Homo-oligomer: A and B are copies of this chain.
C-alpha cells in the first residue's frame, strides 16, 4: 500500500492548505473519493472551543512580489510556502529595507524556503531562501497579496467505523499544512489507506473513530465537542504524523507515560525495530499536546518515523516527496500503524478455566511420551496458560515472554477453542 499512499500524496501535493479555507475542503474531498463514508464538517468562524475561538476563514487567489526590475518573485503559484500563512491582503510599494521586516528565511538552511504562519495576529509576509534573499537588489518593491480573511468556517473530516464493541480506537492526523511531504502529507495519506483497510474488515472488535483535522485548533474543537464520549470509550489512540520517510521510527509518550497506549507503543516499537526513539512528553509538539493535556488525559501517543523538529527538512521546502517521503517509507509507516492497531485489538486478560495445569495430552496439545524438551508451540500454550490469572494482560505476557504480542494470537485461539481460557470483554 506504500505506492498507493505515495500516489495519493502526489495528488494532494500542490494544494494550498491552511487551518481554514478551500485548500482544506479540496483535500478532504479528494480523501472522500477513497473513503466514501468520510463526513466533512464545517465549524463556523467565531465558534468557541475552551480558551480558543475558530478564526476567520483564509483564502488566497494570488500573491507575489515585483522586484525593482518588475520581475515576479516569491510567487505563491510557484511554491505555496512563499506566502506566510494567514497573510492579510496588501498591495503596496516599499523600499527593500521596509520589505525586509516581512521576509523570512533560514540562514542555517540557505537553500530552503521556510514555513511560517501568523494565525492569531494580523500580519503579512513572504518566505524565501536565504540565498535568494541575499541577492535582492536595493530599490522599490511592489507587494501583492490578494487574500481574504472573512467569516466562514473551519473544515474537518470524521469517519466512525462501528465494531461489535462500543469501545473505540482513535486515530487522528492533520490536514492544515501546504506543500510539505513528511509533515504533513504522510499523515493523512497513511491514515486514508488504513481507513480503507479497516473498512474491509467484517468482524472488527472495536469501533474506530478517525479524524482529519487542522492541527491545534481542530484538535481543541474536537475535544471540546466529544471529550466525554472519548473519555468513556477510548481504549487507545494514535496521532499519526511525519510517518513517510525512511528513517527510524519514533513516538511521543503521553504526559504520564503510564497509560495503555504507552505500554502498546513501548512494546510494538521495540518489536518492530531496535533503533527506534522514544520521546518524553517534554518533546511533544503535535496534537498529543491537546489529547494528553491535564484534565483531557486521553491515552493517545503520537507515532512517527522522523519526528517533527527532529529532521533537518522539517517545516521547509526541502520536505519533499521523493527526497524525504518515499513509497518505501510510507509502507513502513503503514506497517507500524497496523501493528499498533493489531496490538491494541489483541490485548485481553485471559483466565484459565481449570485450576492447576489442564491435561493437555488428552486434547492432543502435548506429546504423550515424556522424554525431554517440548515443541515451541506447546511451550507457548503452557506459558500463556500459566499466566492466565485474569489480571495479566496478553501484552504483559508478550513482554514477559519476550516476543511480539501478535505471536500469541494462534495459541490464544487454540486455548479459546478448547475452552481452556476465558476472556471477558
Q: Shortest Cβ distance from A399 into chain B, in angstroms?
A: 12
Pair A387/B293 contact, Cβ less than 8 Å: no
Pair B293/A386 contact, Cβ less than 8 Å: yes
| Residues of chain B within 8 A of A220, CB atoms compared | 356-357
In the complex, the chain B residue whose C-beta lies closest to that of A379 is B282
Given known pairs A355-B224, A361-B121, the reply for A294 and B386 (CB within 8 Å) is: yes
Pair A356/B123 contact, Cβ less than 8 Å: no
Given known pairs A282-B401, A370-B118, A383-B282, the reply for A293 and B50 (CB within 8 Å) is: no
Taking CB atoms and an 8 Å cut-off, the chain A residues in 276-334 that contact chain B are 281-282, 284, 289-290, 293-297, 315
In angstroms, Cα B357 to Cα A404, docked, is 36
Pair B389/A118 contact, Cβ less than 8 Å: no
> What residues of chain A have their CB less than 8 Å away from a CB belonging to chain B?
49-52, 84, 104, 114-121, 123, 125, 216, 219-220, 223-224, 227, 255, 281-282, 284, 289-290, 293-297, 315, 351-352, 354-359, 361-362, 368-372, 383, 385-390, 400-401
Pair A294/B387 contact, Cβ less than 8 Å: yes
Pair A351/B282 contact, Cβ less than 8 Å: no
Secondary structure of the A side of the interface? loop
Pair B371/A293 contact, Cβ less than 8 Å: no
Pair B293/A255 contact, Cβ less than 8 Å: no
| Residues of chain B within 8 A of A284, CB atoms compared | 386
In angstroms, Cα B114 to Cα A420, docked, is 32
The listed residue (B123, B315, B355) touching A293 by CB distance below 8 A is B355
The listed residue (B223, B315, B355, B369) touching A356 by CB distance below 8 A is B223
Q: Shortest Cβ distance from A290 into chain B, in angstroms?
A: 5
The listed residue (B50, B359, B388, B400) touching A294 by CB distance below 8 A is B388
Pair A50/B356 contact, Cβ less than 8 Å: yes
Pair B117/A386 contact, Cβ less than 8 Å: no
What 9 A-B pairs are tightest by C-beta distance, nearest first? Answer: A294-B389, A121-B368, A51-B358, A116-B371, A51-B354, A220-B356, A290-B356, A294-B352, A118-B369
Most buried by B among A84, A370, A386: A370
| Residues of chain B within 8 A of A357, CB atoms compared | 51, 216, 220, 289-290, 293
In angstroms, Cα B114 to Cα A118, docked, is 75
Q: Shortest Cβ distance from A375 into chain B, in angstroms?
A: 15
Given known pairs A315-B372, A352-B295, A370-B118, the reply for A52 and B359 (CB within 8 Å) is: yes
Q: Shortest Cβ distance from A192 into chain B, in angstroms?
A: 26
| Residues of chain B within 8 A of A123, CB atoms compared | 368-369
In angstroms, Cα B115 to Cα A130, docked, is 75
Pair B355/A296 contact, Cβ less than 8 Å: yes
In the complex, the chain B residue whose C-beta lies closest to that of A400 is B282
In angstroms, Cα B49 to Cα A123, docked, is 75
| Residues of chain B within 8 A of A362, CB atoms compared | 120
In angstroms, Cα B392 to Cα A294, docked, is 10
